[in-house]
């Protein structure tokens, strides 16, 4: 079950890590503009967003796609 996925750029990243990095990079308001999801626009929190994203495959796909397109600044 723990097969290696060398060609998967998201391998080893949790949804929480992906979301947290996007929020740190864009902020909730800009994230809500890029991906129109109510949990990002109205009283956003990581916990409520994770609940929604885990239950909604199309929303998770959009978050993962945005993460892959984002050029994060290196610390």
End-to-end CA distance of the chain: 34
Tell me the whole-structure pTM to 2 decimals: 0.86
pLDDT at 24 over 50: yes
Nearest to 56 by CA among 42, 35, 71, 29: 35
Q: Can you list the domains of the chain with their CATH numbers?
A: 15-67 (1.10.720.30)
CB 15 within 8 A of CB 62: no
Question: Tens digits of per-residue pLDDT, 9-21?
Answer: 888 899 999 999 9
For residue 49, the model assigns a pLDDT of 97
Rounded distance between C-alpha atoms, residue 22 and residue 4, angstroms: 25
Question: What is the distance between the alpha carbons of residues 32 and 21, in angstroms, rounded to a whole number?
Answer: 14
**CB count, 10 Å around CB of 12?**
8
């Amino acid at each position: 079950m723990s097969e290696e996925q060398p060609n998967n750029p998201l391998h080893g990243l949790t949804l929480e890590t992906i979301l947290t990095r996007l929020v740190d990079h864009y902020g909730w308001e800009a994230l809500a503009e890029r991906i129109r999801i109510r949990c990002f626009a109205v009283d956003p929190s990581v916990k409520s967003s994770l609940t929604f994203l885990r239950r909604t495959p199309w929303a998770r796909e959009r978050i993962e796609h945005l993460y892959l397109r984002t050029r994060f600044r290196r610390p």
